Structure 1
Amino acid sequence: MTISIFSIVLASYVIVAALLTKRIKNKNDFYVMGQQGSTLLIVGTLAATYLSAVTLMGIAGISYKEGPVVLGGLGSFGAWVGTLIAVVYIGRKLRSLNCKTMMDFFDYRFNNKWVSVVALVLMVIGLLGYGIIQLIGAGLVLAEIIDVPFPVIIIAFTLALLAFCSLSGMYGVIYTDTMMFFSMLAIAFIIAPLLMDTAGFDSMRALGEKYSGYWTLAGTEQRPLSWSVSQFLVWVLFFACTPALVSRVFPAKSDFVVLRVAVVGIFFAPAMQLMVFLAASAMKVIDPSIEPLDRVMIVGFMEHTNPALAGVGLAGLMASIMSTASTLFVLTGFALARDLYEKLFDKKVSEHKGIILGRFSQAIVAIIVCAVAIAKPAGIYWISIYAGAIFAVAWLPTIVASLTWRRMNATAALTCMLVGSISFVVVGELQRHNLVVLPENIDKLMISSVLGTLSLVIVAVVKSPSPYEVNSYLEIRKELPSQATIESILSRKNGRALLYKEYRGVWIMIAIMLLLSFSLWSFLYFKLGM
């Protein structure tokens, strides 16, 4: 049954993508699905991207061993804050500037070849490194559990991803992400509660007596509060500017869709995380000796639920892998086709040729990803550690300063990106080889963020921006994220009434989500006696 569900799920994604191909009429459809994304679709893709295999495997294992509050408390809350910044602040602003990819912003703001090239290289390295290591890790675990050779799993994943990414571009990614979102919902709100019921809330509470600190921010490792605070800051920085989250706003139908996504999607993502972390704690009661820790939730699926739910659980795990990997495919492919080839070599490429280039570039990415994943090079692990964080140390200070500071210029942007990314790698390698020891409450990401930001400020103060850079800044400040949506609604019949209805709908949704949040947290607080 498990193998059947594995195959059916992969096939369903490909079928949906094939059906969506007929919607691709031009490059705008391929890159941002014609900006027709509804609230459900954008919520689905955002939450699916947010919940990667890191949540279901890595952090679930930490919650199992040390307690769910260690990272589920301030760490998960930091991820929530970072995602809110990515969607409501950065994503909305870039969308209002009509960006189809994040690279469009660098081009528009600076009109500088070197800024665009460095930003592009960092994005490709970051996406490839972060995506490949997740594919390798999850593929190894699945190969062990479902008794299918590792290369076969990687090839199956790659072919399925290539099909729904290249056939229908962003349409395929967002629709399949939403399908994946529902399988992840099943894990969070069906399988996780069943595991908690099997363990019993009384027994879960008693873990605090058996393992000192299990239900505290210190955890069983008795980490200092400063460490938890540092994790909060790290997750804020990590999520606030990652292209995987920011770019999910670009296909939205209107600014009101973005606001509803910020309310609904950013409720579901951390709520689903919390349920997974608590289910991992339930597994500590059910089976306290699982090794390696990454297998905690898979053991829960395979050994403590019925075969049908086990299949659903593995489908959700596959979804967490594929939603992240599809982001890798589509954004890297877009970067090679649109941000590299079109802008540097053929600015007048036709609509048809642009779509073909997008598909061809994704095929190239697929071949590279598949080959590297199957080879499982040891070095890729260390690359992946730095890859995802590059956006926090190099892009985040650059983009925020570009949006808010008149003196921001291309030289400051280049300096920040280079200092931030290089210092992160250097400090990380020195730490890995025990040449330097950082305090437990100081992360290398925080150090590099400070260094990158300081270098940006110094260069921006010393060097004046060009007339073009000043003008682009003034244009950005003048463009309000809600302006196009408001103008579009007011141009319709009974526009004022429609606008009022939209605003009222957002506030009603906020009230509903607050009520749901209060109910869920209160119930768990009462049951676990925290």
Structure 2
Amino acid sequence: MNIYFWAMVISIAVYLLVGNYAGRKVEGIDDYYVAGRNAPTLMIVGTLVASFLSTTAFLAETGFAYDGYAVLMLALTAVNTTGYVIGALFFGRFVRRSKSLTIPEFFAKRFDSRPMQKLAGYTTVIGLTAYLLAVTQGGSIIISDVTGIPYGAALIMVWLGYMVFTLYSGSSGVVITDTIMFLLFTVVSIIALPYIINEGGGWSAVLTTLANSEAKPGIIAWHGLTGEGALWPSSQDAFIWAMILGVSWSIVLSVSPWQTSRYLMARSEHVVVRSACIAGLVLMGLYVLLMFGGAAVNLSNPNISPSEGAMIWAGMNMMPTFIGALLIAGIMAAALSSCSTFLSLVGFSVTNDIVDSRKWSEHKTLRMSRYIMFAVALFSLVLAFLRPPAVMWITYFAGTLFASSWGPVAFMSIWSRRISAPAAFVGMLVGFIVNIGSKLLDTAGMISLSVYMDPFILGFFSNVVCILVISRFTKPTVAALAYFEAIHQTPEEEFDPVEVKKTLIWPVVLMISGLAIGGGLFIFYAVPYAAAVGREFSVFSGESLLSIGYGLSVFCVGLLAFWQVKRIYGRKAALAAANKQSVEARS
């Protein structure tokens, strides 16, 4: 076995050791499900980013960039990462106030409806089991590519790695290891990119060569490859796809169970807002590195197949051995952290939301959660054996299920008094069925959906229509309305002037970073790209507009966060600070 294999083994060993340490501290349901509700900002950022990136970013989307769609992926990213701040401000902080163990439990409280909890639980199990399948396959691809061992043996290694750890430690272990893994793959990604660029002769040479690529024309154009043999016939279709998926994944980041459940662990609402700002910024920066890095691998080897192995090949062939080993260990870390998150959430949802465990003791609930997690993990292992790997497309399909089924219900549960339990139930169910049904029919060739009729769009609007129609003929219960009013009462401890001041730092950092990122892309990508293809530079070119828009999206969510924090917490915090000073002056 080579050094890359041992780097992964050490990574898994550290993972298990930390899980064992965290598992020893689990004393009850709150520790196992929501890490004692005391996680600081760094840990929430770590688990948000680690559970989102996984192998989809490091294998599938980097392979997508290698295939010719690097900048198009940035267009998608510019839209989807706004979901962190939007979700934290308009959904996540309210979920934290509910003190629920799971997001489906929040829906049960909000709508005074046990059936609502069970439906949300079932959608969680189905969607996250599919996501778990994709990430398990991604981790297995890494081990198989690096060591040459059969894919089936690699599957078992990955499965054992995350299954044993998650069963024992629950969320307490997941949030700690996610943070460790997040720090590892973030630092290694930043270190690795210069080696890939230097192999191509430096940034200027890389950009010029890619811009004039004959094998993959348009590989770093704003729209990527288009025309015959490409995924989209025109730049317009490619852009519409990116915007639709961007909006869809923005909703996913706002309300999905594996993202918003992280806020249930947060120490305060300020931690929720801060971590959302930081997570969005980290992702915006990392995707610039990963997408251009993935495209640049073409200059050293244009024939990697499948393309999902592009970054693995780069780690083993374009970097010093130690750096490459760290990169591969970091990618494996991203896979394992996501697997543990998805497995734990599925187990929690079955135990807490689908099975009626309210009469069980805490000891029995913990034991049953572990049994159920093992059964789910075993089921995902069998599926991974039977189904060919398709990491990116399974992930995208699973993610959009939550955008269609949960999106309208989640936001309206916070911002509409009129939505009733029957309306929410039917809306979520119809959104889920329409999305998954239309996708399956399209895949089977029974129907042909244009880029304008994405399953996400069909499911989302079907959901909204059902909610609006049924809410006209039904009413929320008295208990549901009382709960609605209760979660709109901001806890007094959140008005601490010191905490508000700390929180306001991060929206400002977002705004400044947005200007810097947009300016950097404009100067180092848009301007030289025009020169490389022999075209007169225009600020209205697709490359220029994408560069500006990428930075502008960061700036705008920073501005939104600053305004909302000042509006929600700042005025009362300022008044409290002034009263304190007045009292001190009189005394």
TM superposition score normalised by structure 1: 0.90
Seen in structure 2, the aligned counterparts of structure 1 residues 220 and 151 have a Cα distance that, compared at 3 Å, is closer
Quick one: distance in 1 between partners of 2:509 and 2:476?
A: 46
The one-letter code of the counterpart of 2:304 is: I
Does 1:223 find its partner at 2:220? no
Secondary structure at 2:440's aligned position in 1? helix
Cα deviation for residue 463 of structure 1 reads: 2.0
**Which of 330, 337, 353 is residue 323 of structure 1 equivalent to?**
337
Seen in structure 2, the aligned counterparts of structure 1 residues 158 and 485 have a Cα distance that, compared at 3 Å, is farther
Quick one: distance in 2 between partners of 1:127 and 1:179?
A: 23
Does 1:271 find its partner at 2:285? yes
Seen in structure 2, the aligned counterparts of structure 1 residues 511 and 387 have a Cα distance that, compared at 3 Å, is closer
Equivalent residue number for residue 511 of structure 1: 508
Which piece of structure 1 moves more, 233-242 or 182-191?
Answer: 233-242
Quick one: distance in 2 between partners of 1:366 and 1:231?
A: 28
Does 1:261 find its partner at 2:272? no
Flag structure 2 segments of 5+ consecutive residues without an equivalent: 227-233, 530-587
Quick one: distance in 1 between partners of 2:407 and 2:183?
A: 31
Equivalent residue number for residue 46 of structure 2: 44
Equivalent residue number for residue 449 of structure 2: 438
Given that 1:48 and 1:320 are in contact with CA atoms closer than 8 Å, whether structure 2 keeps it comes out as yes
Quick one: distance in 2 between partners of 1:520 and 1:35?
A: 34
Flag structure 1 segments of 5+ consecutive residues without an equivalent: 488-498
Given that 1:77 and 1:270 are in contact with CA atoms closer than 8 Å, whether structure 2 keeps it comes out as yes
Per-residue deviation, residues 171-195 of structure 1 (Å, max 9, x unmatched): 1001111111122113320112321
The one-letter code of the counterpart of 1:162 is: M
Cα deviation for residue 84 of structure 1 reads: 2.5
Does 1:286 find its partner at 2:286? no
Structural mapping, 1:305-316, within 5 Å: 305-316=319-330
Quick one: distance in 2 between partners of 1:298 and 1:381?
A: 16
Secondary structure at 2:81's aligned position in 1? helix
Given that 2:5 and 2:143 are in contact with CA atoms closer than 8 Å, whether structure 1 keeps it comes out as no
Per-residue deviation, residues 344-389 of structure 1 (Å, max 9, x unmatched): 2x42433333322322322222222223323437999997664332
Secondary structure at 1:77's aligned position in 2? helix
Equivalent residue number for residue 356 of structure 1: 367
Does 1:250 find its partner at 2:264? yes
Percent identical: 24
Equivalent residue number for residue 549 of structure 2: none
Does 1:500 find its partner at 2:497? yes
Seen in structure 2, the aligned counterparts of structure 1 residues 238 and 502 have a Cα distance that, compared at 3 Å, is closer
Cα deviation for residue 420 of structure 1 reads: 0.9
Seen in structure 2, the aligned counterparts of structure 1 residues 521 and 151 have a Cα distance that, compared at 3 Å, is same
Quick one: distance in 2 between partners of 1:141 and 1:6?
A: 10
Given that 1:87 and 1:245 are in contact with CA atoms closer than 8 Å, whether structure 2 keeps it comes out as no
Seen in structure 2, the aligned counterparts of structure 1 residues 282 and 238 have a Cα distance that, compared at 3 Å, is same
The one-letter code of the counterpart of 2:212 is: E
**Which of 384, 403, 425 is residue 414 of structure 2 equivalent to?**
403
The one-letter code of the counterpart of 2:10 is: I
**Which of 243, 246, 253 is residue 232 of structure 1 equivalent to?**
246
Equivalent residue number for residue 491 of structure 1: none
Does 1:485 find its partner at 2:493? yes
How large is the RMSD of aligned CA atoms in angstroms? 2.4
Secondary structure at 1:65's aligned position in 2? helix
Secondary structure at 1:479's aligned position in 2? coil
Seen in structure 2, the aligned counterparts of structure 1 residues 182 and 115 have a Cα distance that, compared at 3 Å, is same
Quick one: distance in 2 between partners of 1:380 and 1:317?
A: 14
Quick one: distance in 2 between partners of 1:442 and 1:326?
A: 34
The one-letter code of the counterpart of 1:209 is: N
Does 1:213 find its partner at 2:210? no
Structural mapping, 1:120-139, within 5 Å: 120-139=121-140
Given that 2:107 and 2:116 are in contact with CA atoms closer than 8 Å, whether structure 1 keeps it comes out as yes
Secondary structure at 1:248's aligned position in 2? helix
Quick one: distance in 2 between partners of 1:290 and 1:383?
A: 21
Equivalent residue number for residue 534 of structure 2: none
Quick one: distance in 2 between partners of 1:166 and 1:50?
A: 21
Cα deviation for residue 298 of structure 1 reads: 1.0
**Which of 340, 345, 364 is residue 354 of structure 2 equivalent to?**
340
Per-residue deviation, residues 16-44 of structure 1 (Å, max 9, x unmatched): 11112232122111111111211111111
Cα deviation for residue 243 of structure 1 reads: 0.9
Cα deviation for residue 524 of structure 1 reads: 4.5
Does 1:526 find its partner at 2:560? no
Quick one: distance in 1 between partners of 2:101 and 2:161?
A: 24
Cα deviation for residue 513 of structure 1 reads: 4.5
Secondary structure at 2:235's aligned position in 1? coil
Cα deviation for residue 312 of structure 1 reads: 1.0
Equivalent residue number for residue 420 of structure 1: 431
Per-residue deviation, residues 134-157 of structure 1 (Å, max 9, x unmatched): 212441353133222323322222
Cα deviation for residue 484 of structure 1 reads: 5.0
**Which of 34, 53, 56 is residue 54 of structure 1 equivalent to?**
56
Structural mapping, 1:355-374, within 5 Å: 355-374=366-385
Cα deviation for residue 404 of structure 1 reads: 1.5
